Amino acid sequence: MTRPRPIFLIALAALLATAGMVRACPFCVAENRTLSEEIADSSVVLIGSLVVDEDARPDDPTLGGVLNPQDGTARFRVEQVLTGETLLGDEEQIEAIYFGDPQQDVAYLLRGVGEPPEWNIPLPLSDEAVAYVPKLIGLPESGADRMAFFQDYLEHSDSLLAQDAYDEFARAPYSDVQDLAPRMDPEQLMSWIEDPAVSPSRRRLYLTMLGVCGGKEDARRIERLLLSDSRTLKPAARVTVDAAVAAGAPLAAPLAADALLSAERQNKLGLDAMIACYITLSGKAGEGERAMDLIDRRFLADQQGDYSHVYSTLMALRFLAEESDAVPRERVLVSARLLLGSTDFADQVIPDLARWEDWSVLDRLEAMYIDPEAEGVQQYVREPIVAYLDVAAERGGELGERATAALARIEPVDEKAFKRARSLRAFGFLAQARPARDPLENGVRSGEEAVADQLAAQEGPSESSPSVPPLPQASEPTAATPSADETPGPARVVAETVADEPQTIEQTAPLTPPSRFVLLATPLVAGAICLGLFWIILRGGVA
């Protein structure tokens, strides 16, 4: 299984500095800046058309008189000013850099920044887009009315509008999606979910939307997708193909089996959102406990389970614990604890348990640190265990005393791992518990929280619950490494890449994290210096 490089952690640390983003669909990733964001960041926005010299020759290198051969700019006639009328003044034409063949009958979106405006590269618009863009100016900044407008464009034939609508949903607060529920069409959403042409990212969005507006029958349809299993289909497909070939069927008969297995893989795209949707719908129907049991059996207790499927299930559990009340958090913790016996996921779920303040596994984690092989896990679980116990020790009282005593007992077992865990926690890579709060407070989570969720397992309120017996060790996964948004937790990555030299750590004083500015500015300055040297070498003609 391919492990992420340490640069992955550096990139995530840099992303922590970008606060202000909000995650709408909890499983969606915005792919582009929205047109509304582009308009808001511009000084002048207008719709224009190319000015073409009708007397120019067809073979004219200036594309029929459109381009200025000196600077590659083209003239555009101002057709409609959307914002920044005062900066534009009485100008009827502007010049902007232009690429591509001239299209005299096409409208263009032009955005200028600064005073006087510096024009960005024009964006060609379809007739539908010409009507769409001006409507963005008057939309509410947030809320269900805004999302209702974009909902109508999610599968629009104009890819620009469809993409913009998706990105708006991917950025909107989850509460806005919930408020839109009465105006959603569950049957339409289900048809998109079952459409193999729909991308995984959009499928996640539609599953999230279905979770807030669907009913019991929709839960049954999602359940059928979850229960399908390629491992049961493969033997049947093989027998069918062998029988067909023996009966003289065309040699292309095996392709039918491949198509069957491909359809099964399609069923599991966006599995994290599918599980969350299923549990949410089942919870509304009073069947949340039954649904959780089904998920446990299908994905968490299955020792031969696909790695990406288990990881998707963990992501769904994080959503259920932090942003949903479909099932009690105590029940979510029961499912999360099943992963403590997993070779691949124990280090990823321990920070979750610390953040949710589930102290029922404290003694088990101490034993796991002392002898991880006996627990069926690897030694890289030691760093998250130290962080878990540190958080428990900060709680004080009887719990704090138990955790402090456990820390004293485990430190001599592996002092390097113990010190490394303290260093990682100082940098913010391991668990930090937070005060209990409403998981849907304000309906908005900051971008910093969202990235921290990926870095060290998501954060949320907590309640303790009864422990459950550990499962046997999970087998090695047979699936390919998960996609970029399905990467293992950082504790394991750092534990495998950080050098084992002893580190001097003050045990009596809290560690002070280094300046975030220094962490981010130093590599940027170094990169700028390297680029400057490279430019000097090139200019000097040195090979």
Least confidently predicted of 143-152, 400-409, 449-458, 531-540: 449-458
Confidence (pLDDT) at 391:
94
pLDDT tens column, 281-300: 999 999 999 999 999 999 99
Strand-strand pairing, 107-113 and 123-125? antiparallel
Q: Is residue 387 part of a domain?
A: no
The whole-number average pLDDT for the span 3-15 is: 40
Rounded to an integer, what is the distance from CA 428 to the centroid of its chain? 20
What is the residue-wise DSSP string for 437-496? --TTGGG--BHHHHHHHHHH------------PPPPPPPPP-SPPP-TTSPPPHHHHHHH
Closest by alpha carbon to 299, among 277, 315, 281, 322? 315
Tell me if residue 407 falls in helix, strand or coil.
Answer: helix
What is the residue-wise DSSP string for 303-333? TT--HHHHHHHHHHHHHHHHT--SS-HHHHH
Confidence (pLDDT) at 263:
64
The whole-number average pLDDT for the span 355-360 is: 96
CB burial string 202-211: b at 16+ within 10 A, e below: bbbbbbbbbb
Q: How far apart are CA 506 and CA 37, in angstroms?
A: 47
Q: Is residue 277 part of a domain?
A: no
Closest by alpha carbon to 112, among 148, 87, 142? 87
Q: What is the mean pLDDT of the chain?
A: 78
Confidence (pLDDT) at 318:
96
The whole-number average pLDDT for the span 93-101 is: 86
Task: For residue 92, give its domain range.
Answer: 43-119
Q: Is residue 54 part of a domain?
A: yes
Confidence (pLDDT) at 425:
76
Least confidently predicted of 379-393, 402-416, 507-521: 507-521
Q: How far apart are CA 217 and CA 207, in angstroms?
A: 14
- For residue 102, what pLDDT band results from cuts at 50, 70 and 90? confident
pLDDT tens column, 155-206: 999 999 999 999 999 999 999 999 999 999 999 999 999 998 899 999 999 9
The number of residues making up the chain comes to 543
Closest by alpha carbon to 170, among 199, 222, 205, 211? 205
Tell me if residue 31 falls in helix, strand or coil.
Answer: coil
Structure tokens at 436: 């209990």
Of residues 438 and 47, more confidently modeled: 47
Confidence (pLDDT) at 257:
53
Q: Is residue 76 part of a domain?
A: yes
CB burial string 235-267: b at 16+ within 10 A, e below: eebeebbeeeeeeeeeeebbeebeebeeebeeb
Cβ(28)–Cβ(69) under 8 Å? no
The gap between the terminal CA atoms of the chain, to the nearest Å, is: 39
Q: Is residue 79 part of a domain?
A: yes
Q: Is residue 107 part of a domain?
A: yes
Q: How far apart are CA 437 and CA 37, in angstroms?
A: 31
Q: Is residue 109 part of a domain?
A: yes
Region for 483 from its dihedrals, namely left if φ exceeds 0, alpha if ψ lies in -120 to 50, beta otherwise: beta
Question: Is residue 279 classed exposed, middle or buried when 0-12, 13-18 and 19+ CB atoms within 10 A define those classes?
Answer: buried
Number of domains in the chain: 1
Of residues 112 and 103, more confidently modeled: 112
Strand-strand pairing, 107-113 and 118-119? antiparallel
Instruction: Give yes or no for residue 252 having a pLDDT over 90.
Output: no
**Cβ atoms < 10 Å from Cβ of 424:** 22
Q: What does the angle CA 433 – CA 435 – CA 437 come to, to the nearest 5 degrees?
A: 125
Instruction: Give yes or no for residue 303 having a pLDDT over 50.
Output: yes
- For residue 437, what pLDDT band results from cuts at 50, 70 and 90? very low
Q: Is residue 388 part of a domain?
A: no
